[in-house]
Amino acid sequence: MTHVFHRHLRRTPPRAVSANGVYIEDADGRRYLDASGGAAVSSLGHGHPDVLAAMQAQMGQLAYAHTSFFTTDVAERLADELIRTAPQGMSHAYLVSGGSEAIEAALKMARQYFVELGQPERTHFIARRQSYHGNTLGALAVGGNAWRREPFAPLLMPATHVAPCYPYREQRPDESPEQYGQRLASELEAAIVAQGPGRVIAFIAETVGGATAGVLTPVPGYFKAVRSVCDRHGVLLILDEVMCGMGRTGSLYACEQEGISPDLVTVAKGLGGGYQPVGAVLAGKHIVEAMSRGSGFFQHGHTYLGHPVACAAALAVQRVIHRDGLLGKVRDDGHRFGEWLREALGEHPHVGDIRGRGFFWGIELVADRASKRPFDPALAVNARLKGDAMQRGLLCYPFGGTVDGLHGDHVLLAPPFV
């Protein structure tokens, strides 16, 4: 009998009791290799002594102070560190408790920016199919996953969804990757134009598509073309790096590899590496300046903004990543990891595609390789795979089913950087 409102109401998952390094142990003494870092969260593995010490010290000194009364040293230091290492143009970090919260804040910041600029008629967001931005209502509205949206659809703000960058299924045989990226950017431009001049607030996209996409890496030039389209129409670019950011792809931000900088970028999972619920929105200088020149107040907030213990955990995680040279390790080992996956699974009759960067890999499963025909969703391949892997002591993160007309079962591997 359980009184926890578990997501699956008819079954209770095994009870995790301890974790160390890359392993989690359950109440029956079974040990699991955490090959997906939970949901691409755990960057340093479990029980890292530096993080524990930093959290303990912060708890002893100051566990909580509401941000309407105080700032704290630790929040200031974390924001300094985030801005020091941020994509070009970022000037302030808004510190929250997780990914969905970061997305809600970014959407509202983007909207308020235009209100402050005297452009209140900008009311519309454009996002991508097969994306995931979180489960709160704003994040769900921009998320491109009909299955998650469906029961709540009447409650969601309207948003336009354009094609994701999904070369395995959607790049035409007569197109180069660059031409494909250009075609997608043109589709975005058409969607902006269709809304009418000055109506779109922002385009939001995961730099590398994660949970609902099975690790969709952008083709070369795609994000440069997207950035130009946004600039041409005065539309903000919000990059969601909640899953792919903070080193997961081998650079601190995945957008560094695309040679562009967004107006707003969200991070969460790898920021605190699972030690505390923590996320952030990094805001471009122009956004912060417009808001401080205008009302001088962001009309948004939560009780646990900038929570000192969460900030201490995040700061410690980020310091270990830099001190121990883990970005280089993710790049080098990640490359080998990809080669190894291709060697081990590349010829498997039900593996359609293996794609990724750094320690962020997706394996797309198909019923038939030649036609790329997906499995019948009724077979629930992903759920069975997750269960079988757990039986064998492996944690991987599968997703399946129909996503806005795109099918596919995939498995996500995102091991701790250590």
Least distance CB 251 / ligand PLP (angstroms):
17
39 touches ligand PLP (CB under 6 A): yes
Cβ 85 vs Cβ 255: under 8 Å? no
242 touches ligand PLP (CB under 6 A): yes
Q: Which is nearer to ligand PLP, 111 or 133 (CB)?
A: 133
Least distance CB 283 / ligand PLP (angstroms):
17
Q: Which is nearer to ligand PLP, 48 or 128 (CB)?
A: 128
By rule CB under 6 A, what count of residues binds ligand PLP? 15
Side by side, which strands form the sheet with 16-20?
Answer: 16-20, 23-26, 31-34, 394-395
307-366 residues in contact with ligand PLP (CB under 6 A) are none
Select the span of 155-163, 235-243, 328-336, 399-407 touching ligand PLP (CB under 6 A).
235-243
Residue number, nearest CB to ligand PLP:
99
Q: Smallest Cα–Cα separation from 217: which of 190, 188, 177? A: 177
59-98 residues in contact with ligand PLP (CB under 6 A) are 98
User: How does DSSP classify residue 382?
Assistant: H
CB atoms near residue 344 (< 10 Å): 11
Euclidean distance between CA atoms 405 and 403, whole angstroms: 5
Cβ 113 vs Cβ 149: under 8 Å? no
Q: Smallest Cα–Cα separation from 294: which of 68, 120, 109, 117? A: 117
103 touches ligand PLP (CB under 6 A): yes
One of 45, 144, 210, 221 touching ligand PLP (CB under 6 A): 210
Task: Give strand ranges (E) for 104-177.
Answer: 124-128, 159-162
Least distance CB 206 / ligand PLP (angstroms):
5
CB atoms near residue 323 (< 10 Å): 9
Least distance CB 341 / ligand PLP (angstroms):
21
240 touches ligand PLP (CB under 6 A): yes
130-149 residues in contact with ligand PLP (CB under 6 A) are 132-134
Euclidean distance between CA atoms 65 and 305, whole angstroms: 10
Euclidean distance between CA atoms 345 and 409, whole angstroms: 15
211 touches ligand PLP (CB under 6 A): yes
Least distance CB 253 / ligand PLP (angstroms):
13
Which residues here bind ligand PLP, judged by CB under 6 A?
39, 98-100, 103, 132-134, 206, 210-211, 240, 242-243, 268
